[in-house]
Amino acid sequence: MELKSKIAFCEGKNFWETKEFPQYGIPSMFMCDGPHGLRKQEGVNKDYLGVNDSRPATCFPAAVSTACSWDVELVGKIGSAIAEEAADQGVGIFLGPGVNIKRNPLCGRNFEYFSEDPYLAGKLAASFIKNAQKNGIGTSLKHFACNNQEFKRLSSDSILDERTLREIYLTPFEIAVREGKPKTVMCAYNKINGVYCSDNKELLTNILRGEWGFEGLVVTDWGAMHDRIASFKAGCDLNMPGGSNYMEQKVLDAVARGELDEADIDRSVQRVKKMVLEAQQVLKNKTCCDYDAHHELARIVAEQSAVLLKNVDNILPLKKEQKIAFVGDMAKDMRYQGAGSSHINPTRLVHPADVLGSSVSVEQADVAVVFAGLPSEYESEGFDRENMKMPQEQVKLIEETAAKNPNTVVVLFCGAPVETPWADKVKGILYMGLPGQAGGEAVRNLLYGVANPSGKLAETWPIQYSDCPSATYYPQWDAQYREGIYVGYRYYDKADVRVRWKFGFGLSYTDFAYSNPQLDGEMVRVTVTNTGNCPGAEVVQLYVAPPQDGIHRPVRELKRFTKVHLEPGESKEVSFSLDERCFSVWDNGWKVPSGSYTILAGGNPDKLIVAGAVEKSGEVVKIPDWQPGSWYENPKGSPSLEQWETMLGRKYVPYTSQKGKFTMNDTVTDMKRHSLVMRIMYLVVKRIISKGTKPDTAEYRMLLETSAGSPLRSLQISSGIKEKFFKGILAMANGEFIQGIRILLKK
Ligand code: BGC
């Protein structure tokens, strides 16, 4: 291949496909979203926000739900079912799973991610990937890395210290890469400590490939390419979507000048070629794909992922002979998936009302079941929630129902925690998350005890938003990771803040007892018994409580878990083996500080039993000079900017965009404040969007935030419009009107 073709090969052909080169026997390959089911767009209109039509595919429960199953095997089955559908629809790579950490409950995209805990997220993703790829279809682990807010998601700078980066934000990727071996990893839009992920050699080569042994290809998130020269050097292989020839001439010039080694491009070419040819082999053979069986799997997953949060007087399961009132619009129209690139056109859709039978009036009912949650316009890719509240009318409906009927149960549909000031007024709460296309059948089976809830929360539910450590500074233009490693339960435990429901919490229709804990070297054993009257499954969680007298550490951290199914009266011994990483901190490498580590096990965070203590005469990890008396030693509330800067070891310099100095990294939204041209551009974008979507919908807001909020270079890549257009309006926005016109008119 000549150099120009090589560069071209490392950019897609169009929105979803790679370029074919028939003269070299290279076909094109189709990619599509996503993590919870396929979104294959075959029509003329393509988008990366799930707005235009896609082929029907099974809509599985979203990661917010599947994570609550804590069941690696089950999550693996979703991976392999999606891969079967991918093979059936001619897709070589599908874009998921997403393992970004749920740093703050308001992130609009939390529903697509697994957990606030890196170990849980990593293990589930690894199993998803391994099973999805077992017949050769590839996955794309995303969004690498530190893309934890939707505000400015296409350009923000994630600023954090190395320990937090390693222990919290990179760990899920590390586990998923080492164990799952994804064929591709998707680099995120944002910068990390000033360097765009696409250009980040430390991230994409030194850590991902060097340390973790990744052998696959790095693809950009759609429109995330920053500097094609730097990105070739960094090990970012494929620029998507294609069609813009982004920076092609500049790359040619850089090679000619000797600034970029052609070998860097060759390496990426080889990776793209390998991926495409492997997919061609796999897709050659027609395999069977049973969409009915996948619907059944979606139901089972929804059942196994539901979390029973409250069950006073065993109000659930409902009895056949009881008269039930089914209340709330979500009975007929449940929220079952999130908005954005993961949006699926389901093969079927079963709402609770379709299968629950008739409802009696509110007054005659033995039990009232209210279906409530977050409407789709509240949470979506593209923007963050403004608060943690449910719509006022839904709260009112729950409270009014509970006032009329003391036996009220709430079935909740939402992709992230909400404030539940009504929780004490109802007897039962069943959390369904976003349960996918078979959610209605799953709800029926759970309510009537055909299925027994066995999910545990994969994230903490605070009482109110202001309890979150990052509440006062999330989200910002630059993402300031001030709370460091104290994310989710790591913070609430250490700060001793009462929460509504803890990470790892979930009830069952049966009871489990723990006995005979043993610690033998680094082997932990514990016996679990089903002491109730019906079969059930229990998630056994193992936490390590590290010493608190050295370098600051969380009170306890999840290090192992498993799910066991038990008949009434049945007991099983569960065993876990620990390794060095269970005790480690990041301090210029993984190190085990010496001291006594308590091992805790159990099915509910409040009832853990002690299995013993492991004594480590490991290394001396120095207490940082700034630690004594700091927020990190004794966290309460939000850390201040100064406290964070002291921990970070440097001053934080906020980004400012300035007229005269605008670049292709600036967005229409930001520049419009200073530029008439950009105000006009904004109105044009708004007009185009409002032609196809209604204002006040999640879709409208997502489209507006994503297009007007895209750096100009991302708009160039995604739209395929010529560079000179963007350079022209950029010059105008910078006050160089004539120069802008000249650029626009240039042939
Ligand atoms: C999202 C990715 C998605 C891609 C393609 C991007 O906007 O961040 O998660 O895979 O679009 O749809």
| Mean pLDDT within 216-231 | 98
| Alpha carbons 594 and 296: distance in angstroms, whole number | 50
Q: ∠ CA 233-238-242 to the nearest 5 degrees?
A: 130
Residue range 537-589, pLDDT digits in tens? 999 999 999 999 999 999 999 999 999 999 999 999 999 999 999 999 999 99
Q: What mean pLDDT, rounded, does the chain reach?
A: 96
Three-class SS of residue 305?
helix
* Mean pLDDT in residue range 142-146: 98
User: What angle in degrees, to the nearest 10, is found between the helix axes of 723-733 and 676-692?
Assistant: 130
pLDDT for 51 beyond 80: no
pLDDT (average), residues 249-268: 98
Q: What is the pLDDT of residue 25?
A: 95
What are the contacts of 715-720 at 24+ separation with CB within 8 A? 715/223, 715/668, 716/244, 716/246, 716/664, 717/223, 717/225, 717/239, 717/241, 717/244, 717/246, 718/48, 718/222, 718/223, 718/241, 718/244, 719/244, 720/243, 720/244
CA distances from 339 to 57, 106, 109, 440, 534 (A): 16, 15, 9, 19, 37
Rounded to the nearest angstrom, the distance between the alpha carbon of 357 and the centre of ligand 1 is 39
* Beta-strand runs (E) in 402-444: 408-413, 428-431
- Are 128 and 67 spatial neighbours (Cβ–Cβ below 8 Å)? no
Residue 216 CA to residue 178 CA, distance in Å, equals 12
DSSP category for residue 251: H
**Ligand 1: nearest atom to the Cα of 98:** 9
Confidence class for position 50, pLDDT limits 50, 70, 90: confident
Binned at pLDDT 50, 70 and 90, residue 747 comes out as confident
- Residue 50 in contact with residue 288, Cβ under 8 Å? no
CB 644 within 8 A of CB 652: yes
Residue pointed to by tokens 């209210």: 370
Q: Which of 31, 33, 380 to mutate to test the pocket of ligand 1 (most atoms within 8 A of CB)?
A: 33
Q: How far out from the chain centre does Cα 599 lie?
A: 29
Q: How far apart are CA 744 and CA 148, in angstroms?
A: 37
For residue 349 the two structure tokens come to 């859709």
| Model pLDDT, residue 737 | 95
Give the integer Cα–Cα distance in Å for 723 and 714.
11
Share of residues in the chain with pLDDT > 90 (%): 93
**Phi, psi (degrees; rounded to nearest 5) at 331:** -70, -40
Model pLDDT for residues 697-741, shown as the tens digit of each residue: 888 999 999 999 999 999 999 988 999 999 999 999 999 999 999
DSSP output for 178-234: III--SEEEEPSSEETTEEGGG-HIIIIIIIIIIT---SEEEE-TT----HHHHHHH
Q: Phi and psi of 392, rounded to 5°?
A: -55, -40
Whether 633 shows a pLDDT value over 80: the answer reads yes
Taking the C-alpha atoms of residue 432 and residue 455, their distance in angstroms, rounded to an integer, is 10
How far apart are alpha carbons 663 and 584 in whole angstroms? 42
Phi and psi torsions of 462, nearest 5°: -70, 160
Percent residues over pLDDT 70 in the chain: 100
Flag whether the pTM goes above 0.95: yes
Residue 224 Cα to ligand 1 middle (Å): 10
pLDDT value of position 185? 99
Query: Which has the closest alpha carbon to 664: 188, 232, 225, 158?
Result: 225
pLDDT of residue 578: 98
Q: Is 346 helix (H, G, I), strand (E, B) or coil?
A: strand
Rounded to whole angstroms, the Cα distance separating 691 from 700 reads 10
Sign of CA dihedral 292, 298, 301, 303: negative
Interval 645-691: pLDDT, tens: 999 999 999 988 889 999 999 999 999 999 999 999 999 999 999 98
Residue pair 501/601 in contact by the 8 Å Cβ criterion: no
Residue with tokens 């509440």: 471
Residue 427's Cβ-side half-sphere holds a number of Cα atoms within 13 Å equal to: 19
Residue with the nearest Cα to atom 8 of ligand 1? 221
The whole-number pLDDT of residue 573 equals 98
Cis amide bond preceding 241, omega within 30:
yes
* pLDDT class of 35 with cuts at 50, 70, 90: very high
pLDDT tens digits along 295-335 = 999 999 999 999 999 999 999 999 999 999 999 999 999 99
Over residues 95-117, the mean pLDDT reads: 98
- Bridge-based pairing of strands 609-616 and 595-602 is antiparallel
Q: Which of 32, 48, 143, 344 to mutate to test the pocket of ligand 1 (most atoms within 8 A of CB)?
A: 48
> Tokens for 684?
């044009």
From the CA of 721, how far away is ligand 1's center (Å)? Answer: 20
CA of 221 to the centre of ligand 1 (A): 6
Whether the pLDDT of residue 42 is over 90: the answer is: no
CA 542, CA 560: separation in Å to the nearest integer?
A: 5
Structure-token pair, residue 631: 């927020």
Can you tell me the distance from the alpha carbon of 437 to that of 435, in angstroms, rounded to the nearest whole number?
A: 7
Pair of tokens at residue 167? 């222990």
Q: Among candidates 610, 574, 576, 714, which has minimal Cα distance to 156?
A: 714
Distance of CA 375 to the CA centre of its chain: 19
67: CA distance to ligand 1 center in Å?
A: 20
Q: Tell the CATH topology of 3-283.
A: TIM Barrel (3.20.20)
What is the model's pLDDT at position 245? 96
221 assigned to active site? yes
Ligand 1 site residues (CB inside 6 A) read 33-34, 48, 95, 142-143, 221-222, 341
Banded pLDDT at 696 (limits 50, 70, 90):
confident
DSSP 138: E
Q: Write the CB contacts of 169 (distance below 8 Å, at least 6 apart in sequence).
A: 100, 101, 118, 145, 146, 148, 160
List the CATH code of the domain at 512-622.
Answer: 2.60.40.10
Q: In which element (H, E) is residue 602 found?
A: strand 595-602
pLDDT, tens digit, 9 for 90 and up, residues 374-430: 999 899 999 999 999 999 999 999 999 999 999 999 999 999 999 999 999 999 999
With a cut of 80, say whether residue 21 has pLDDT above it: yes
User: Quick one: DSSP state of residue 165?
Assistant: I
Strand partners for 191: 157, 196
Q: Output the CA torsion sign for 543, 547, 551, 554.
A: positive
Return the best residue to mutate from 151, 219, 222, 705 for the ligand 1 pocket (most ligand atoms within 8 A of CB). Answer: 222
Residue 226 CA to ligand 1 center (angstroms) comes to 16
Region of residue 381 (left: phi > 0; alpha: psi -120 to 50; beta: else): beta
Per-residue b/e over 687-718, b at no fewer than 16 CB within 10 Å?
A: eebeeebeeeebbbbbbbbbbbbbbbbbbbbb
- Which atom of ligand 1 sits closest to the CA of residue 140? 10
Q: What's the mean pLDDT in 485-513?
A: 98
DSSP-derived letter for residue 604 is: S
Please tell me the predicted confidence (pLDDT) of residue 391. 97
Cα distance between residue 422 and residue 400, in whole Å: 10
Q: Which fold has domain 300-459?
A: Rossmann fold (3.40.50)
Q: Where are the domains of the chain?
A: 3-283, 300-459, 512-622, 668-745
Strands annotated E in 328-366: none
Per DSSP, the residues of 549-584 read SSS---S-EEEEEEEEEE-TT-EEEEEEE--GGGG-
Identify the CA nearest to 305 among candidates 574, 603, 60. Answer: 60
- Can you give the pLDDT at residue 52? 80
List the residue whose alpha carbon is closest to atom 5 of ligand 1: 48
* pLDDT level of residue 53 (50, 70, 90 thresholds): confident
Q: Whose CA is nearest to atom 3 of ligand 1?
A: 341
Q: How many residues does the chain have?
A: 747
Torsion of Cα atoms, 17 then 23 then 26 then 27, to 10°: 50
Residue 363 has pLDDT above 90, yes or no: no
Span 342-363, mean pLDDT?
94
Catalytic residue of the set 33, 157, 221, 467:
221
Atom of ligand 1 nearest to the CA of 95: 10
Ligand 1 atom nearest to 50, measured from its CA = 12
Distance, in Å, from the CA atom of 229 to the CA atom of 220, rounded to the nearest integer, reads: 14
